[in-house]
Amino acid sequence: MAALPRLVCVSSVVLVVWAGFCSAVCVEVPSETEAVQGTHMKLLCISCMKREEVTASTVVEWFYRPEGGKDEPIYEYRKTNHEFPSRFSGRLQWNGSKDMQDVSITVLNVTLNDSGIYTCNITREFEFEIHRPLFTSSRWIHLTVVEEAGEDFTSVISEIMMYILLVFLTLWLLIEMVYCYRKVSKAEEAAQENATDYLAIPSENKENCAVPVEE
């Protein structure tokens, strides 16, 4: 019976640990999947630790698989960085964070031959007093390398809206010019009519039209 309280205690600790694993402390963001030839491409790999206060040793392995080929190791982090001999030799850069939640790498001077599937394997061994559980996770990135950057859909929409706005402003300006021209023309016609009517009045009537001056 003495072992029962100890078993209950161990079970409680395990339940607390698993409950902690269910609440993420970071956000896993997917990586971009298209790169332009000659640029630098960051292969984003984020694996959130569920309890940042728990000590864990992390091993990161990066693999590359060309279209129709097999996985080949290209990079590894096991307390220190290690780059395997491959087509990427001298072109890989570690971009991981200190807490080992972000374990991304960057491919420098991307070429068309770099298209393919990249795999990021993360292995964590958590250091608890009772046991040392081992957890693994993987991320896959299907990268496509293009010669030139395609137009962004948002920029295309912005250009279309800009042209529509320019056309609208041009039409509005033309309408305002026509309106002002007609208004000025009518004013000139009215002035000419008044002048013609005045000239048509006989001279004696013009004298009668004079305003009498009071003495």
Instruction: Render pLDDT for 51-62 as a digit per residue (tens, 0 to 9).
Output: 655 678 899 999
In the numeric block, the tokens 């079970």 are attached to 11
**Rounded CA separation 13/16 (Å):** 5
Owning domain of residue 163: 149-179
**Rounded CA separation 58/120 (Å):** 13
**Range with lowest mean pLDDT among 93-97, 128-132, 166-170:** 128-132
pLDDT of 44 above 70: yes
- Which residue spans within the chain are E strands per DSSP? 34-36, 41-43, 56-65, 72-78, 80-83, 92-94, 105-107, 116-126, 134-146
Quote the pLDDT of residue 122. Answer: 95
pLDDT in tens, 158-196: 778 888 988 888 998 889 888 888 888 888 887 787 777
**Rounded CA separation 42/24 (Å):** 23
Quote the pLDDT of residue 7. Answer: 38
Structural domain contains residue 191? no
Q: How many CB atoms lie within 10 A of CB 89?
A: 10
Quote the pLDDT of residue 214. Answer: 54
Selection from 26-40, 53-67, 105-119 with the highest mean pLDDT? 105-119
In terms of domains, do 143 and 40 share one? Answer: yes
Confidence of residue 24 (pLDDT cuts 50, 70, 90): very low
In terms of domains, do 39 and 131 share one? Answer: yes
Residue count of the chain, please give it. Answer: 215
The two structure tokens encoding residue 3: 């072992």
**Residues 93 and 27 sit within 8 Å (Cβ to Cβ):** no
In terms of domains, do 42 and 115 share one? Answer: yes
The two structure tokens encoding residue 189: 């016609």
CATH code, 144: 2.60.40.10
Structural domain contains residue 65? yes
